[in-house]
Amino acid sequence: MSDPLEQPADSLAALERIAGEAEAYLASLATAPVRLGRSDEAAEAFDGALPDEGLGTLAALGQLIEPGLDAHVRSSGPRFFHWVMGGATPAALGADWLTSLLDQNAGGWDASPLASRLELLSLRWLRELFGLPANWDGVLVTGGQMANFTGLAAARQWWGERHGTDVSVDGLTGLPPAPVLTSGFVHVTGLKALAMLGLGRGRLTTCADSVGGMDLAALERELRDLDGAPAIVIGNAGEVNTGLFDPVEGIADLCQEHGAWLHVDGAFGLFARVSPRTAELAAGVERADSVISDGHKWLNVPFDCGFAFVRDPELLGRTFAAGAAYLPEAAEDRPIFAYRAPELSRRARSLAVWATLAAYGRSGYRAIVERCLDNAARLAAQVEDSNDFELLAPVPLNVVCFRYRPPGTPESELDDLNRRISEAVLTDGRVYVGTTSWGGKVAFRPAFVNWRTTAADTDLILETLRDLGSRPAS
């Protein structure tokens, strides 16, 4: 019972068990509560010491499913608007199951020609989807965080080399602090990447206008003061609370003039380029040196998946080089992705990326993006037309930043009121909406990236928040 070797057929039985759950589960996504009120208690059911004797495959899966479904959040469903999290398209979901079945290591061609070839091709298709230069290249990583790390690692390598130092070999010792400049829109994962890279999250210079976006005049002053010393600039294509964009084209002009590296975080905002309605927002990204985006956001592949692109992939090669006697050597047309990425052994994320792009193509992704744009615009209009909600920022893309403001409520009470709703909405189950602080005010910031979300799902947002807001404080 405890040794899988005694029950080799269990693998198929395990898959059948999960496939059996899938039918009801997928049907529930449209209507079941996003999260149950008892989810925390259900999660606590998982406890106890490591069993001496295992339960066996199906019993263990049964125990995983039972409290598991009560404890999980239907984040791949259409009424989940928290963070910026997509669902999984049917093709991506199927390919992801196949990924686990085949259990490929995407480290190199000898470990998996399939994963390596599909990574090469997926990256090419993504460049085509986003209109990035054909001679760039990149790598699939676990998400926006590691993509920012990867792009900024290439930037650090470039910066070291400008000082005559190969940072990947000799480290940072003896080098001056690296100037890194950005706007107030920088995402926390950019800061964490700087921390991990030894560049220091606290050494960042912020050039922000009154809203937080890049102040081009301030950036120009900073770059001029560096007097030709190499610098790294982070542009933000899609601020997480509002979807606002830095003026990437203007930043690219300054970086070009002053010889600075331009890294653009487009974790979800790069998808603006998929629709002619919003492409202009991310104009100039093609002039950057490194650009990142996420797969598990608007591409709607399952967790975890992100991608980093660089103008000069050799920099990734020098940064993440990891040759060893037992490992393969890269060939001209066969890059070893483990030598471009932080990880050596890697999940074959390319199967899901390839499958979803093959299944829906350019027009399918344009449809997904535009549906999300329509839903965001619909919600923004509802907020503006109401007398009890207040829009706190423009809505250029897919995030709507607003708060509840019923007539007659004093300003001094609004933060508490919105905080109270924000706590209630996370266990209410009708919609799942995240909260933030914007302009010093507690605000909601639903983000639309899920392919399943309809106008009717969108309409539930204000209805639910209004209902929760009208309840007396307990």
Ligand X SMILES: Cc1ncc(COP(=O)(O)O)c(C=O)c1O
Q: Which of 104, 150, 157, 189 binds ligand X (CB under 6 A)?
A: 189
Q: How far is the CB of 87 from ligand X (least distance, A)?
A: 15
Nearer to ligand X, 87 or 143 (CB): 143
Please give the DSSP secondary-structure letter assigned to residue 389.
Answer: E
> Does the footprint of ligand X cover residue 83 (CB under 6 A)?
yes
Q: How far is the CB of 190 from ligand X (least distance, A)?
A: 7
> Does the footprint of ligand X cover residue 446 (CB under 6 A)?
no
Sorted by sequence, the CB contacts under 8 Å of residue 104 that are 6+ apart come out as: 111, 112, 114, 115, 348, 351
> Does the footprint of ligand X cover residue 86 (CB under 6 A)?
no
Give ∠ CA 469-470-474 in degrees, rounded to 5. 80
Q: Is 365 within 8 Å of 129 (Cβ atoms)?
A: yes
> Does the footprint of ligand X cover residue 319 (CB under 6 A)?
no
Would you give the binding string for ligand X spanning residues 337-376, x where CB under 6 A is met?
----------------------------------------
Determine the length of the chain: 474
Q: Which amino acid is at 359?
A: A
Nearer to ligand X, 436 or 454 (CB): 436
> Does the footprint of ligand X cover residue 152 (CB under 6 A)?
no
Q: Which of 265, 286, 289, 428 binds ligand X (CB under 6 A)?
A: 265
> Does the footprint of ligand X cover residue 143 (CB under 6 A)?
yes
> Does the footprint of ligand X cover residue 453 (CB under 6 A)?
no
Nearer to ligand X, 238 or 313 (CB): 238
Q: Which residue has the tokens 């999260």?
A: 35
Nearer to ligand X, 36 or 85 (CB): 85
Positive or negative: CA dihedral 297, 460, 428, 396:
positive
Sorted by sequence, the CB contacts under 8 Å of residue 40 that are 6+ apart come out as: 71
For 439, phi and psi rounded to 5 degrees? 60, 30
Nearer to ligand X, 111 or 447 (CB): 447
Sorted by sequence, the CB contacts under 8 Å of residue 169 that are 6+ apart come out as: none
Nearest alpha-carbon partner for 223 in 213, 233, 237: 233
> Does the footprint of ligand X cover residue 140 (CB under 6 A)?
no
Q: How far is the CB of 156 from ligand X (least distance, A)?
A: 18
Q: Which of 160, 184, 212, 306 binds ligand X (CB under 6 A)?
A: 306
Would you give the binding string for ligand X spanning residues 237-256, x where CB under 6 A is met?
-x-x----------------
> Does the footprint of ligand X cover residue 144 (CB under 6 A)?
yes
> Does the footprint of ligand X cover residue 183 (CB under 6 A)?
no
Q: Which of 215, 222, 286, 294 binds ligand X (CB under 6 A)?
A: 294
User: Stretches 14-22, 263-271, 333-341, 423-431: which one binds ligand X (CB under 6 A)?
Assistant: 263-271
Quickly list DSSP for 410-466: -HHHHHHHHHHHHHHHHHH-S-B--EEEETTEEEE--B---TT--HHHHHHHHHHHH
Q: Which residue has the tokens 């020609």?
A: 113
Q: Is 390 within 8 Å of 466 (Cβ atoms)?
A: no
Cα 467 to the center of its chain, rounded Å: 31
Quickly list DSSP for 74-126: -TTSTTB-STT-----HHHHHHHHHHHHHT-BTT-TTT-HHHHHHHHHHHHHH
Q: Which of 145, 275, 290, 418 binds ligand X (CB under 6 A)?
A: 145
- The two beta strands, 441-444 and 435-438, are antiparallel
Residue with CB nearest ligand X? 144
Q: How far is the CB of 367 from ligand X (least distance, A)?
A: 22
User: Stretches 86-94, 143-151, 320-328, 425-433: which one binds ligand X (CB under 6 A)?
Assistant: 143-151
Q: How far is the CB of 268 from ligand X (least distance, A)?
A: 6
Q: How many CB atoms lie within 10 A of CB 103?
A: 10
User: Stretches 28-36, 64-72, 262-270, 280-288: which one binds ligand X (CB under 6 A)?
Assistant: 262-270
Q: Can you read off the two tokens belonging to residue 370?
A: 């535009």
Nearer to ligand X, 268 or 432 (CB): 268
Q: Which of 153, 267, 372, 391 binds ligand X (CB under 6 A)?
A: 267
Q: How far is the CB of 303 from ligand X (least distance, A)?
A: 8
Nearest alpha-carbon partner for 282 in 233, 236, 242, 234: 236
Q: Residue numbers of the site for ligand X (CB under 6 A)?
A: 83-84, 143-145, 187, 189, 238, 240, 265, 267-268, 294, 306
